Amino acid sequence: MKATQKLHDTGQSLWIDDITRDMLDSGTLAKYISELSVTGLTSNPTIFDRAVTKSDKYDDEIRRLLKRGLKGEPLFFELALQDLSRAADLFLPVHQQTATVDGWVSLEVSPLLAYDTDATIAEAKRLYKKADKPNLFIKIPGTKEGLPAIEEAIFSGVTVNVTLLFSAAQYTVAADAYMKGLERRVEAGLSPDVRSVASVFISRWDKAVMDKVPDALRDKLGIAVGKECYKAYRDVLNSDRWQRLGSLGARPQRLLFASTSTKDPKAPDTMYVQAFAAPNTVNTMPDDTLLAFGDHGTVEGVLSPGGGDYAAVLAEYEKAGFDVAALAQKLQDHGAKAFVQSWQDLLKAIETKCLALA
């Protein structure tokens, strides 16, 4: 049995962090589903940048959209929704078989709106309606400005992938926004069954401190933070507040481990995937990590609900002079800015291609 199947059997969903028209046309995504237990998909601006600019698969469609007068963001979202709609259809059987728990794909709102709550809400609703797919998440960052947008989107029935979370504290306020949206739906006489995931980024922690820590602490921070987030996740599920919502028909906002490709060339390429085996969670990974885990990964038990040794490890980092809470905020701020830069690069690349094709 492949390691990917063993990981799936623990109750964790394996999602691919990639999408291209080549993957869809060649049957690669279908192969990942049938052979590597992949049950969902995430995307981001960098992924679409590579997909559109390094392939001629989109050229004819871009020409057609240009003739319709589309350009910039509207043209990009047409291309993205076409790809994600095809992927959503591939995952629809999983979505139905798991009673809508799994089989999701994700589309990001424009990162340029990360600090504009009202605009994020409006765009999330527009994209969700335009896609018209039962298994599409709209990605909204868990920034201070994104939290009320998450609450409002959930209240409006928009399924949400909360992104850019880096710590247990950030996860907890995102979970609070999700539950507030559900509680408002209950008060309004609406069903609280609106799905969501909360995406905690892992590898960027170790990348941020890689050249600043002694060898004894190398590549341990991301795993410790992830374990703390898992404990916070289990605490939310065990809370009276969540139990009440669950009794009314709500389903858990699953914890998603994101950015799980190893950035340290000295470390095992499956390190983070193996570290975060846990039931009722998601691990999303790029192709290389998925293929590596399928080839030589191992599953050695699941995470402890209490987070195991995370507190002792974090204490070691604090002792070494690292302010973990401050670094979490720095990583979120930097992540939001990096997403903006990626988005601008994407739009510039599309503009260049449009000019060439026109």
Burial of residue 119 (CB within 10 Å: 0-12, 13-18, 19+) is: middle
Run of H or E residues at 236:
helix 221-238
Instruction: Check 129, 130, 139, 180 and give the catalytic one.
Output: 139
First-last CA distance in the chain:
50
Sequential DSSP letters for 61-116: HHHHHHHTT--HHHHHHHHHHHHHHHHHHHHHHHHHHTTTSS--EEEEPPGGGTT-
Contact call for residues 149 and 121 (beta carbons, < 8 A): yes
Catalytic, 227? Answer: no
Q: How many CB atoms lie within 10 A of CB 227?
A: 24
Contact call for residues 310 and 228 (beta carbons, < 8 A): yes
What are 334's two structure tokens? 């930097």
Sequential DSSP letters for 247-310: HTT----EEEEE--S---TTS-TTHHHHHT--TTEEEEE-HHHHHHHHHH--------TT-TTH
3-state SS, residue 198:
strand
DSSP state for residue 116 in the 8-state scheme: -
Catalytic residues: 139
